[in-house]
Amino acid sequence: MKTPALPTVQSPLLSSLPGVKHAFFTRQGGVSKGIYDSLNVGRGSQDEPADVEENRARIARWFGGGPEDLNVCYQIHSTIAIVADGSWGDARPEGDAVVSKTPGVICGAMAADCAPVLLVDPEARIVAAAHAGWRGALDGVVQSAVDRMVELGASPANITGVVGPCIGPKSYEVGLEFLHRFEADCPGSGRFFKPGASEDKRFFDLPAFVLDRLATAGVERREWVGRDTRAEEEWFFSNRRAFLNNDGDYGRLLSAITLEA
C-alpha cells in the first residue's frame, strides 16, 4: 500500500542521525471530522473509533509498518517507562514512555499541549518516546526514559533528545500555586516562569523546563522544534485551546520514532 503523504514536523538533530526515522505528526492528513479534523489518534477521545484506527494505520504505514507496530502507552501522567521488545498490537500498558532496541518497533507518545520527547542513542541503537506534561516532567518521566535506555546499553552522552510541538511559553498561563509547587519540588525552577497578565498569574515555559530535565539527565544534544500547539490551530490539537473555546473535547497528536532495519 502506498505510504500516505502526511505533513510532519522534523527535528534537524534527529534527521542528521543514521538508522532512525522519526516524525512529529500534525493534525493534518487524516480522516476525522469536526473538532477532530483530521489526524486524531486519541482512542480516549469521543471521535469515531474507526476514524481513529484509520489515522493510526496511516501513521504506521508512514513508517513502513502496520498498526500492530505502533506502541503507545495508556498515558497516565506518570514516570513509568516501558521497554518494548516487540510490537504490542492492541495492548496499551499504563505508562508515559516507550523504549526499544528492536528495529521496526514504533515508539510513540500522544499529546495535545503536553511535550512529546523523542530520544535516540544512535551508537547503541536504542530509541524512546516520552509524554511529558507538566506533572510528568516535574516528577521525572524524562529521567525515567533515559534510565531505561541506559539499562539497555545506551550512554546519556550519546543520546539526542528532542522536544516536539507543545504549548509554548507565551501560551501557558498558570496560577501562583503552580510556581510554588515547582519551586518546592525542583528548587530553582522559578526561572521558567515569567509575569502573567495579573499579579497572581505566570507564564510557564514547558519546553524550556523539559530541555532542562534532559540536561539534568546527561543528554547533551537537545532541542525544541519551536512549534506552539495552542497558537497554531491549523496545525495542532490543543487541550488548552479546546477548553477556552468550550469545544467539549479535542484530538490528540502523535510523535514517534523507530529504528530502521
99-116 residue pLDDT tens? 999 999 999 999 999 999
- Tell me what pLDDT residue 5 has: 80
- Tell me what pLDDT residue 75 has: 98
Report, as an integer, the average pLDDT of 184-201. 97
Adjacent-strand bridge partners of 253 = 111
With bands split at pLDDT 50, 70 and 90, how would you rate the model's confidence at 179?
Answer: very high
| Distance from the first to the final alpha carbon of the chain | 19
Domains of the chain by range and CATH?
A: 8-165+226-259 (3.60.140.10)
With bands split at pLDDT 50, 70 and 90, how would you rate the model's confidence at 4?
Answer: low
- Tell me what pLDDT residue 31 has: 97
Grid coordinates representing 235?
Answer: 496545525
Burial class for 94, CB neighbours closer than 10 Å (0-12, 13-18, 19+):
exposed
Which tens digits make up the pLDDT trace of 55-81?
999 999 999 999 999 999 999 999 999
Question: Checking DSSP bridges between strand 106-111 and strand 70-72, what pairing results, if any?
Answer: parallel
Residue 119 confidence (pLDDT) above 60 = yes
